[in-house]
Structure 1
């Protein structure tokens, strides 16, 4: 029987991943309310987002790649840490997110990505991570709670997509030394 086990490499995202990352994100734009973007992106329009996540520092982009596959289909998902808010006093806070290719959900890819992301962020001058989760999304809530995020509040009906209003639950995680 052939080995069907996925061999996953988690690594920093590169320009060469842009088309695959855009395709993954556009699935969520077109098919779900998990992001409040409503218009799909072209890779060119998504490039500034990719470039805002260098290989080091507090704002990262990590991708999960199936090393047995060549080409865009090898990208199984990605996780990011991004600026929480643009004002200087927020510099020690990040907003994190994880997106998996539709064919890769429920396979532990999000867990692998977040494990690697939080390990990479451990040496950064960061105090808190935040995640906004459109409701309902039990799988994302479970993922974040597995990483010690705690619910800190919900914005009721904060976004409108597909003709409906959606709540966003906010979760917080302590980073850095426990003071």
Structure 2
């Protein structure tokens, strides 16, 4: 009998994902300088973040799942597009990010998530995407460059975490003419 193969699925993040998404993000808070958050969150504290990314519109949360991946309830990673800045003139710009679970890196999950995110954003009134990358992070730099992002500048020693200062490189991608 042939073995049934489960494919990685990308879908909008849902309430049922909140605990696993929080656990995944907390890993990056505790173990890396990828995010400048310094204290872990509870799922309840992350609920407003989840709800700020509806299934449609320019501010999205996409989740990559594979039921064969036991850790974090099958969640391999997630990608988001969020407001770039709060002022109204920035409404057609988004900040994007992608997080892949430990054990899910190097398998194309980040590329799959970004491809799905940018496909969804193509139908939205979004002109530019921005990504901040805490340095060093060659894998993230390569991913963003592969998706057409260009380096536009680096903030030197802009964040302090784990007792040291970190640079953040900023990347920009044109999403469409409006």
**What TM-score bracket applies, with the shorter chain setting the length?**
over 0.9
Paired position in structure 2 for 1:60: 60
Contact 2:67/2:73 (CA < 8 Å) preserved in 1? Answer: no
How many correspondences in the alignment?
Answer: 177
Contact 2:69/2:76 (CA < 8 Å) preserved in 1? Answer: no
Question: What are the superposed Cα offsets for residues 109-149 of structure 1, whole Å, 9 maximum, x if unpaired?
Answer: 00000000000000100100000000000000000000000
Give structure 1 stretches of 5+ with no counterpart.
none
Taking the aligned partners of 1:25 and 1:6, their CA distance within structure 2 comes to 25
Question: What are the superposed Cα offsets for residues 6-60 of structure 1, whole Å, 9 maximum, x if unpaired?
Answer: 6200000001000110011000000000000000000000000000000000000
CA shift, 1:67, in A, is: 3.8
Paired position in structure 2 for 1:121: 121
Contact 1:58/1:124 (CA < 8 Å) preserved in 2? Answer: yes
Query: What is the root-mean-square deviation of aligned Cα atoms in Å?
Result: 1.9
Paired position in structure 2 for 1:23: 23
Taking the aligned partners of 2:35 and 2:130, their CA distance within structure 1 comes to 15
Give structure 2 stretches of 5+ with no counterpart.
none
Are positions 1:107 and 2:133 aligned together?
no
Distance 1:150-1:86 versus aligned 2 partners, 3 A rule: same
1:23-172 to 2 correspondences below 5 Å: 23-68=23-68, 72-172=72-172
Distance 1:5-1:166 versus aligned 2 partners, 3 A rule: farther
SS in 1 for 2:117: helix
CA shift, 1:72, in A, is: 3.9
Distance 1:31-1:69 versus aligned 2 partners, 3 A rule: closer
Distance 1:16-1:169 versus aligned 2 partners, 3 A rule: same
Contact 1:123/1:176 (CA < 8 Å) preserved in 2? Answer: no
